[in-house]
Amino acid sequence: MIYRPRWRAPDGSEREGRAWWLDVTVAGRRHRRSLGVRGSHAAQALATGIVRRLELQAAGLPVPDAQEDLSPRALVREFEDELVRRRSAQQHVRRTVQRLESLFEGHAHLAEVTAPMLRRALGRLGRTGLSPQTVNAYRVAAHSFFAWLVEEGRWAANPAAQVRRERPAEPARRRRSLSQEELARLVAASLPHRAAAYLLAATAGLRRSELAALAWGDLDLGEGTVRVRAPTSKNRREALLPLPEGTVAALRATEGPSQLPTARVLAGVPSTRTLRRYLATAGVLYEAADGVVDLHALRVTYATLLARAGVALAQAQRLMRHSTPALTSNTYTRVDLADTRGAVARLEAHPPGRTGRRAGG
């Protein structure tokens, strides 16, 4: 058990120590020591590690070094090796390690990383100007780290599970979708390799990282499909997506005579500055009342064009590779008054005498 010692002072008042102590009996032997920490959560976590080592020692099993076993820095390195073993994307591994090191900075013992400590650390990150989505990514990193420790039997509980997610704020810059006519003008004003990139984003929904990793071996222009490999996909799942004829034609225009399957389709993913230049040439507004047009806005365009083409929401969700249909419909699909007016018009009842049937017929 853990406790804070109490005693009676010379003046008769009862005092309580600030640091927590451990009092436990393992294999018939009593162990009583100061844990050296003031927080109850940290004390409980530290006591769990100590009892675990005492039990291993009593059973005659190898006992890990206490400092190495409970050092956040050392454990993060072990977790990095575990992520690599799971074949996580290199960028994901690097960002996870960076986020964990930032959260644990200044803490020499893992017992100090408690739920209240994580709340304070994430709160400080939010006050530095990071978006709620980015702050939540730090929380996810900590949650995954402790979930691994719990699964390995090296820690008692996951403190990140007690930390609520940040509620996303309304985006400061909203993305708008292009109409089919605006997309056609953008493609016509762009160089062939840029046009191919814009069409892959607007007619297949490929993200920036997926465009950058796309190889010629991922394309089957005869069948009109593109394969998004699991390591390059955001949800780590492979997907086979159809390509419209116009996108296939644009890709053929950039294909070399003897293209290696491993060669990149795009020499580079166009920046927002480059896209703005082509938008200006095409006479398409970069920013309007309903938002801006950057590369990810072309993925918004994809979802919106699917909705306007009458594609069922469930099918659009699969094509967009979203986790929920609500994300497809509420976040990515842009419909305006003309779309809704057309939908309502199809529900209008025909007045008597205009149904094409004769009276009394």
Residues forming a β-bridge with 6 = 16
- What does the mean pLDDT of the chain come to? 84
CATH topology for 67-162 is DNA polymerase; domain 1 (1.10.150)
Q: Are 147 and 195 in contact (CB under 8 A)?
A: no
Percent of the chain whose predicted confidence (pLDDT) is above 70: 87
Triad 104, 110, 113: Cα angle to 5°: 60
Tokens representing 351 are 């007045």
Give tens-digit pLDDT for 172-204.
568 999 999 999 999 999 999 999 999 999 999
Separation of alpha carbons 186 and 282, rounded Å: 5
Task: Please name the residue that has the structure tokens 């967009």.
Answer: 320
Residues forming a β-bridge with 16 = 6
Q: Within 10 A of 51 (CB to CB), how many other CB atoms are there?
A: 15
Domain boundaries, the chain: 2-63, 67-162, 180-345
For domain 180-345, give the CATH superfamily. Answer: Intergrase catalytic core (1.10.443.10)
Q: Quick check: 67 pLDDT over 50?
A: no
Q: Quick check: 143 pLDDT over 80?
A: yes
Average pLDDT of span 223-247 = 92
Separation of alpha carbons 276 and 278, rounded Å: 5
| pTM more than 0.85 | no
Lowest-confidence range among 250-264, 325-339, 341-355? 341-355
Phi, psi (degrees; rounded to nearest 5) at 13 = -80, 155
Give tens-digit pLDDT for 256-271.
766 789 999 998 899 9
Residues forming a β-bridge with 287 = 292
